[in-house]
Chain A
């Protein structure tokens, strides 16, 4: 029966090409715009470390003085050196890493390459196992290297390709800011999106090229990029004692019970520091997980949300338009439908026939929408924003495009099909 309906649908669609083309175009434009913006939103609001992000937490506490104190204040978004080191050495979590971002001058041994600045991450050793960072060659450093401020470095795959042509460079030396560093590892391609562990160097920035121990970086006074929030005496030459928050601390806690225990530990730590006089505000701690932290920081640009709403408004108008055109199309065929009814077709089969026609429009419109979405994403990728390169359609979104187009057109076809089925057969036959 379906094959027959399909045949009828195709015949009918062919009969009035302009109207069919208009409906297909409306669906294609609406679906194309919606899927383009939705894909960008989907990419930007994705989970940076699927399967792992639920057990990674970002401890926050409030070490500030009472200047401008309001009880409902959120704690600062980063930690001080003193608190970060204290929590790092307390080792209350399975893994913990204290880190910040920066940029270092690289002086390649190969004189064909001019010196250049490279984005760097200064971190403690647990960064690599905690975030499950893949290694191409070698491995990360260990806690002993952190303690000794060892001159060791891990390179990204991209930087290793640039400096060593992609060969295993572990064991070789690299000059960083006039000092020799031993390469201990080379990462495989790794770009968590968003750049969740440090949102201050760009929410969607690519991964850093150089990783060195935080202790080494501070000893060598490597330049620090990102946010510095100071109070009291504020900034000083020695960032280790400055009353500034400038470091990110991440911990891995595998069960909710461990998370609860860690929160309690943070509270105790804050009370203890207050008793010692270092903290002045009442204990105010937070322990968001990765997705909670991204939500709190509203990492997805508001323009992206605005575009999604705009596109769906557009789709809605396109659908209303399609409903109108389908109504005209179906009612114009009253005569043909009346004859089919008179020949014994039930209302139900008429309804099925008309919805098949709507479905065909949806399918063709969906294909057009897919092409438009691919074109739209290509345009997005040509934008200079740092998330542009990520805008690719994945398989679920591709299937969703077709599903959305067909479902939307079927919904749009319901009212016209129902109205067309109400036509009394006798009247139509008589009037012709």
Chain B
């Protein structure tokens, strides 16, 4: 086959426009598909991030107050609500909180190691809840202990309380104390007084999935406080295994039986983790699907283009093929000729495509803060397109190999 390369190149020189068009198309397709696959991979990686929550059994009630209450009144109501929820047959545990993992955004604080440090060490998502929150979310405590009930403070609307104890995620503990000595150490979270780490959980996702959250992935802390906010409180509820649907039906009834003076949005006031995950990752999933469709269609169009042009070439060269066959070339030789020709064009195309793919990626890094394209994607893209080219050229090439030697004698 190697002997054939020179005549192929000579022949291609007579079809400059067509050759160039196929090569350009392969190059563009490779560049776009590589980057698209890379983006798909990144988005899917985001989609599968672990929250640390027992997602199969946990749901969240966004509970708002219909009247203007004092912090004391709210605290009494929250305690009563919690008792009512925990007594439900389908409910394992319940806790009030300022937010929940994958909420879609929420409270975060800068962390400093000293009170007068100006440039923060890092950033952490902030949750507040009582001693039931860990079990309710289903978090895994990997070191230290949970809060005691007498450590839980009462936190009114926009009150700037700083509890002296804190439970942190392993990611935050490791970021602050890389030597693994976090337990018992203190830090400052935008406050004048320190918080001491009494427990470490792993993992605990932040509320959001924005680029800022990805920059501080998994860094979260929990303060022991009942958030008696006049604007409303999130009630996290963990159902007993298999009783999620029943618990989700019973919970609002139990709450309204406690008091009618609350507002739970009938549309999205109660959500389980399937809905929460769906909501927060919707744009990522949409983007991944769109990229996937575009890539598939691009590959199909490129393949169709190769089929079209090669068919034309075969049609144009029927006479030459006939002459070669008459002079003793086998069907395999003819088939090999077209496959090799396509391979040569393909290699030219992918070489240009690789350069283009990295060029596009560099531009995207500067424009959209995406990561650097990894070589594996480009390599698999190259293989994919070369195989696609060979597959597309197969049908016309087989047709060419069936041209009978008699063609050589027709016309002229």
Interface residues, chain A, with chain B CB atoms under 8 Å away? 19, 22, 26, 29, 33, 67-68, 103, 105, 107, 114-117, 177-178, 223, 234-235, 237, 301-303, 305-307, 310-311, 313-314, 316-318, 320-321, 323-325, 327-329, 331-332, 383-385, 415, 419, 431-432
Please give me the residue from chain A that is nearest to B211 by CB atom: A302
In the complex, which of the residues A310, A320, A321, A415 contacts B291, with contact meaning CB atoms closer than 8 Å? Answer: A310
B36 proximal to A (CB < 8 A): yes
Complex: A419 Cα to B291 Cα, angstroms: 36
A321 touches B286 (CB 8 A): no
Q: How far is the CA of A67 from the CA of B65 in the complex (A)?
A: 38
Complex contacts, A318 vs chain B, CB 8 Å? 301
- Can you list 24 A-B contacts with CB-CB less than 8 angstroms, sorted by A residue number? A22-B308, A26-B301, A29-B297, A29-B301, A33-B294, A68-B119, A117-B265, A178-B67, A305-B367, A310-B36, A310-B291, A314-B297, A317-B29, A317-B32, A317-B301, A318-B301, A320-B25, A321-B302, A324-B308, A325-B305, A327-B309, A329-B312, A385-B282, A432-B411
CB of A375, distance to nearest CB on chain B (Å): 12
Partner of B18, one of A178, A302, A303, A328: A328
For B28-67 the 0/1 string (1 means CB < 8 A from A) is 1101100010010000000000000000000000001111
CB-based contact B263/A105 at 8 Å: yes
Cα A310 to Cα B66 with chains together (Å): 47
**B287 in contact (CB, < 8 A):** yes
In Å, the complex CA distance between A26 and B300 comes to 10
User: What is the CB-to-nearest-CB distance from A386 to chain B, in angstroms, rounded to a whole number?
Assistant: 11
Would you call B66 and A303 a contact (CB within 8 A)? no
User: B283 an interface residue at 8 Å Cβ cutoff?
Assistant: yes
Contact of B301 among A68, A311, A321 (CB under 8 A): A321
Residues on A with beta carbons closer than 8 Å to the beta carbon of B308: 19, 22, 324-325, 328
Identity of the chain A residue whose Cβ is nearest the Cβ of B36 in the assembled complex: A310
Contact A324 B18 (CB under 8 A): yes
Best-buried of B24, B308, B412 by chain A (most CB within 10 Å): B308
Instruction: Let me know if A320 and B263 touch, CB within 8 A.
Output: no
**Does B66 lie within 8 Å of A105, measured CB to CB?**
yes
Whether B294 lies near A177 (C-beta < 8 A) is: no
Cα-based distance from A82 to B286 in the complex (angstroms): 44
How far is A325 from B301 in the complex, measured between Cα atoms in Å? Answer: 11
CB distance from A213 to the nearest CB of B (A): 18
Q: Which residues of B contact A (CB under 8 A)?
A: 17-18, 21-22, 24-25, 28-29, 31-32, 36, 39, 64-68, 118-119, 157-158, 160, 230-231, 263, 265-266, 279, 282-283, 286-287, 290-291, 294, 297-298, 301-302, 304-305, 308-309, 311-312, 315-316, 364, 367-369, 411-412
- Tell me if B21 and A384 are in contact (CB < 8 A): no
Instruction: Report chain B residues within 8 Å CB of A116.
Output: 263, 265
Given contacts A117-B263, A223-B230, 10 further A-B contacts (CB under 8 A): A22-B305, A26-B304, A116-B265, A301-B283, A305-B368, A310-B36, A313-B31, A320-B305, A325-B305, A327-B18
- Chain B residues near A105 (CB, 8 Å)? 64-67, 263
- Pairs A-B, 5 closest by C-beta atoms: A328-B312, A324-B21, A321-B305, A115-B66, A223-B231
Taken together as a complex, chains A and B put the C-alpha atoms of A303 and B22 apart, in Å, by 30
Least distance between A379 CB and chain B CB atoms (Å): 9
Closest chain-B Cβ to A337's Cβ sits at a distance in Å of: 14
Question: Are the CB atoms of A306 and B368 closer together than 8 Å?
Answer: yes
Which B residues are in CB contact (< 8 Å) with A431?
411-412
Task: Give the residues in chain A near B39, CB-CB below 8 Å.
Answer: 306
A68 to B120, CA, bound (A): 11
- Once bound together, how far apart are the Cα atoms of A419 and B157, in whole Å? 76
| A29 to B160 Cα, complex, angstroms | 56
Please tell me which one of the listed residues A117, A311, A332, A384 contacts residue B315 in the complex, with CB atoms under 8 A apart.
A332
The smallest beta-carbon distance between A307 and chain B, in angstroms, is: 7
Contacting pair A320 B283 (CB below 8 A): no
Please give, as numbers and ranges, the residues of chain A lying within 8 Å of B17 by CB-CB distance.
327, 415, 419
